[in-house]
Every structure is written in structure tokens, then in C-alpha cells.
């Protein structure tokens, strides 16, 4: 790797992705660990211009995944700066910021709001500091993309004092959405100027309504637990359910947290797996597995309709994320019944995983795109490095 390379670290709820970029922001290597904490965990490393095959790996947690990453970086690595994806920075931190003891302390205080992501991101910062103590580190927040949302999209229907305390709708998956908008700009600048809904569907799932490249509303709110049904998270839930569990079932807050973040969603309803790949294989032979898949698509369709209403129509629909990119059956079920806004899927193109899967007579362009969160992070790091003069 060349001197001054940028290392990006992207810790998801069940994954870790990393990449190395040269000074021109060309990716020179990629690293990926998937299904962390399961017996099916895999790790992949890909050098520039090469293919890489997933290998079985023992990664019971994100700490093990980080150790795998650092052990597989070439010995001659010369890292000039490091960028971290950070899901939540609260009201104090949205713009990319230099990692410091103060920033980490602020993020530690937010862990109860996002226990699925922040501990892993903080652990990655500590690990990077230990390995590269003199290297500049930049935290890049998922919430930054949603800074353009109008006030009605950020408010919660609670007393004003709560908003002033930072209890509001933030929105997440921002680096993914930023990447998609950037790619769309290169593919079709007119599309970016129009009305777009981007569906980031994976272990964590959300959607965003975008007009002229700017976020207008999104499905996740105060935390990444809200909105769509996800792998182990329920998405939007009647708050009365939680009151009932606390008061009538004597559940402790810790048990509620475990329920909401690790036991619900696809895993909870199916009773077998949080991974859509597994569920699609089993759905035909198991009633509750099919119910889990059906509920996921039903909720996604409702949210898609609401975001189309926010935009007053739709010109472009984008599917991204692990499920969005690789599950044609899910894309088909979500798009079903949306002929009224002119959104028509082309079944064969969808099955063949084409980049554009809308029917010729569809007034809405439907795309399947791969998000490049790592490049979005690297761009922020390069800009911050230039500003700081590191």
C-alpha cells in the first residue's frame, strides 16, 4: 500500500467491512466479515484487481472481527488516516469529526440509545488507536445525510422540552444513502434532481425520501430500532406494548433492550433465523418463516407508500443493502401493487439481477445499486485531512 493510505472501518450490527484507499481514493483492498456471532460467520479479503472467496471464520464478536482485520493487513501497511462509520452521534455530533477522548466519551454516553452499533464503533476506535497511535482518525456519522430534513420530519409528537434535550428523529444509513446519491448523480443527474426513494434493506433496514439529492424524510427515527422490520429489531412498535411488558409482565429495562435489539424482527417472528437468505430457503416449508418474510414485505410496502406521499410522487426507486441487492423475491413483493404511481417491475430483469429492473412502460425507474459506504467515508476523511492539514 502506498504511503498515506486511508483505512475505512465500517462496523455494522452483525458485520465488519473495511477498505484501504490510496491518495487518489482508489480502493486497493477490501475486507469483510459477515454473520458475526453465528456459526456461519465468514471472512473475505480482496486485493485490488483480484477476486476473493469467503472463508469460514471464528468471530464470536466484533472484537474478534477487528483482530482478524488487523492480522490480515499486509505488514508493510502505511496508514495515513482512518475513517470510522459511526451510526449515532446525538444532537452534538453529526458532521464528520476528529476522534478524541472527548468524542469517545460523548459516544459512550449514547450507548443506551444505540447498543447495537456504538459499542462496536468505539471498540474499533480504541483498537485503531492501539495499533496506529499517531494516525489521524475521523468519525463519519450516518446522521449527517439527514441534516436536510425539514423540521416536521425531525419532530416527535412529545412536549417541546424533549426536543430541546435531543430526543428527536435523526435518521440513519446516511453513508449508504450518500453513496447512492453520488452514484446516481453520475448515472442520471436528472434523476437526482427529482423524487427518489432509496431502500437500504439488510440486517438493518430503512428507507429515505430524497428530493434534489437531499433527505426529506426517513423511516428510522431517534434510534436505529424504529421504522422497518429488521433482522432482530422490530421497527416501529406501539409504545403501549412496552408499557404493558414493563408494568404487567414485570420485564426489566435490560430485558426489554434484549427483546428489541436481539430477539425481534425476522428472528423473533420466524423463530429460526435473522438472515433473509435462510428464511427464503425455508419459507415454503414453514408457516412462521413465511409469515416473517410476508410481514417484512408488508411493512416495507407501507413505508414505501408513505414516503411516496411525502414526495408527492416518485421518479426513481433504488434497492440497496444485502437484501435489496440480492433478493429478487423480496423486491418483487415490495413493488407489488404500486402500479398507481407508475411503478412497475420487470419480472425477468429482476430475476436476472439487472441494474435497472423497471418495466419498459414504468414511469418510475427502478434500480438495484451497490452502496459504497467505504468510499463515502474515505471522501470525508480526505476532506477533513486537507482541512486539518494532517
- Indicate which residues carry an active-site annotation: 142
Beta strands in the chain (DSSP E): 5-11, 16-21, 27-34, 42-47, 55-56, 79-86, 97-98, 136-141, 195-200, 206-211, 214-218, 316-320, 365-368
**3-class DSSP assignment, residue 181:** helix
Q: Tell me 283's DSSP state.
A: G
Q: Which of 232, 241, 246, 91 minimizes the C-alpha distance to 171? A: 91
358 burial type by CB count under 10 A (0-12 exposed, 13-18 middle, 19+ buried): buried
DSSP labels, 242-266: HHHHHHTS---HHHHHHHHHHSSHH
Q: How far apart are the C-alpha atoms of 235 and 226, rounded to whole Å?
A: 4
DSSP labels, 35-68: STTSTT-EEEEEETT-----EE---SSHHHHHHH
Q: Tell me 13's DSSP state.
A: S
DSSP labels, 378-390: HHHHHHHHHHHT-
Apex 298 CA angle, 295 and 299, nearest 5: 85
Amino acid at each position: 500500500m502506498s504511503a498515506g493510505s486511508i483505512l475505512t472501518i465500517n462496523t455494522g450490527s452483525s458485520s465488519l467491512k473495511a477498505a484501504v484507499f490510496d491518495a487518489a481514493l482508489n480502493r486497493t483492498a477490501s475486507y469483510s466479515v459477515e454473520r458475526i456471532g453465528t456459526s456461519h460467520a465468514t471472512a473475505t479479503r480482496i486485493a485490488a484487481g483480484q477476486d476473493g472467496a469467503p472463508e469460514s471464520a471464528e468471530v464470536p464478536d466484533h472484537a474478534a472481527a477487528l483482530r482478524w482485520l488487523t492480522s490480515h493487513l499486509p505488514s508493510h501497511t502505511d496508514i495515513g488516516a482512518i475513517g470510522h462509520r459511526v451510526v449515532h452521534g446525538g444532537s452534538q455530533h453529526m458532521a464528520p469529526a476528529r476522534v478524541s477522548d472527548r468524542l469517545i466519551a460523548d459516544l459512550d454516553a449514547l450507548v443506551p440509545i444505540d447498543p447495537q452499533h456504538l459499542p462496536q464503533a468505539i471498540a474499533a476506535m480504541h483498537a485503531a488507536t492501539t495499533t496506529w497511535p499517531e494516525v489521524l482518525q475521523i468519525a463519519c456519522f450516518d446522521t449527517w445525510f439527514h441534516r436536510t430534513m425539514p423540521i416536521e420530519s425531525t419532530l416527535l409528537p412529545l412536549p417541546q422540552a424533549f426536543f430541546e434535550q435531543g430526543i428527536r428523529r435523526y435518521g440513519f444509513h446516511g453513508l449508504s444513502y450518500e453513496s447512492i446519491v453520488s452514484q446516481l448523480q453520475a448515472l442520471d443527474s436528472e434523476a437526482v434532481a427529482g423524487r427518489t426513494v432509496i431502500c437500504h434493506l439488510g440486517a438493518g433496514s430503512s428507507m429515505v425520501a430524497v428530493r434534489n439529492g437531499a433527505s426529506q424524510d426517513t423511516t428510522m427515527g431517534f434510534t436505529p430500532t424504529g421504522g422497518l422490520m429488521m433482522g432482530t429489531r422490530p421497527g416501529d412498535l406501539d409504545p403501549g406494548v412496552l408499557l404493558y411488558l414493563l408494568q404487567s409482565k414485570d420485564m426489566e429495562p435490560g430485558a426489554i433492550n434484549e427483546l428489541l435489539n436481539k430477539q425481534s424482527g425476522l428472528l423473533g417472528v420466524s423463530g429460526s433465523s435473522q438472515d433473509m437468505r435462510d428464511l427464503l430457503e425455508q419459507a415454503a416449508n414453514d408457516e412462521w418463516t413465511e409469515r416473517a418474510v410476508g410481514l417484512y414485505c408488508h411493512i416495507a410496502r407501507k413505508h414505501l407508500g408513505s414516503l411516496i406521499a411525502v414526495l408527492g410522487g416518485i421518479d426513481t426507486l433504488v434497492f440497496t443493502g444485502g437484501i435489496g441487492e440480492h433478493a429478487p423475491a423480496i423486491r418483487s413483493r415490495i413493488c407489488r401493487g404500486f402500479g398507481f404511481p407508475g411503478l412497475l417491475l420487470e419480472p425477468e430483469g429482476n430475476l436476472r439481477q439487472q441494474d435497472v429492473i423497471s418495466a419498459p412502460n414504468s414511469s418510475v425507474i427502478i434500480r438495484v445499486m451497490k452502496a459504497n459506504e467505504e468510499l463515502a467515508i474515505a471522501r470525508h476523511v480526505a476532506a477533513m485531512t486537507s482541512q486539518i492539514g494532517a
